[in-house]
């Protein structure tokens, strides 16, 4: 049984560019959440998707947007990248609102 998978694992982008990160949830999980983890800090909640709708959003600007597909997979899009967007982006899935299982993350570097 595959766990949560994220792609790509590493990414380097230039300031002002746009990026799309992808997440496939664990089998049977219908809820996907995205977190941003800056170096040396705990993860910060970006948003959660359930039934293809954004159910809750954290304190992140509109440059951060997402999507959930009918197969429950999800994308995180970040527009107009800033140097401060450099971080590890973690996707988590869960069957409804139970314990979250995380992927290995996408390490984004903005130069």
Partner 1 sequence: AQKITQTQPGMFVQEKEAVTLDCTYDTSDPSYGLFWYKQPSSGEMIFLIYQGSYDQQNATEGRYSLNFQKARKSANLVISASQLGDSAMYFCAMRESNDYKLSFGAGTTVTVRA
Q: Which positions touch partner 1 (CB under 8 A)?
A: 31, 33, 35, 41-45, 48, 55-56, 58, 88, 90, 92, 97, 99-105, 107
Task: Work out how close the CB of 16 gets to partner 1 at its nearest, in angstroms, rounded to a whole number.
Answer: 26
| 15 exposure class (CB count in 10 Å sphere: 0-12, 13-18, 19+) | exposed
Task: Work out how close the CB of 35 gets to partner 1 at its nearest, in angstroms, rounded to a whole number.
Answer: 8
Query: Given the complex with partner 1, which of 16 and 28 has the nearer CB atom?
Result: 28
Whether 107 contacts 88, CB under 8 Å: yes
| 107 exposure class (CB count in 10 Å sphere: 0-12, 13-18, 19+) | middle
Between CA 65 and CA 102, with CA 23 as vertex, the angle to 5 degrees is 105
Task: Work out how close the CB of 7 gets to partner 1 at its nearest, in angstroms, rounded to a whole number.
Answer: 14
Query: Given the complex with partner 1, which of 12 and 80 has the nearer CB atom?
Result: 12
Whether 31 contacts 49, CB under 8 Å: yes
Query: Given the complex with partner 1, which of 80 and 97 has the nearer CB atom?
Result: 97
Tokens of 5: 């998978």
Task: Work out how close the CB of 17 gets to partner 1 at its nearest, in angstroms, rounded to a whole number.
Answer: 23
Query: Given the complex with partner 1, which of 45 and 65 has the nearer CB atom?
Result: 45
């Amino acid at each position: 049984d595959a766990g949560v998978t994220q792609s790509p694992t590493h990414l380097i982008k230039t300031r002002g560019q746009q990026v799309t990160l992808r997440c496939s949830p664990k089998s049977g999980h219908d809820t996907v959440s995205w977190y941003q983890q800056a170096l040396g800090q705990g993860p910060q909640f970006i948003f959660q998707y359930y039934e293809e709708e954004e159910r809750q959003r954290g304190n992140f600007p509109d440059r951060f947007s997402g999507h959930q597909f009918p197969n429950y997979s999800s994308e995180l899009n970040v527009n107009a990248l800033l140097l401060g967007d450099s971080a590890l982006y973690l996707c988590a899935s869960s069957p409804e609102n139970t314990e979250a299982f995380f992927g290995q993350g996408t390490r984004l570097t903005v130069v």
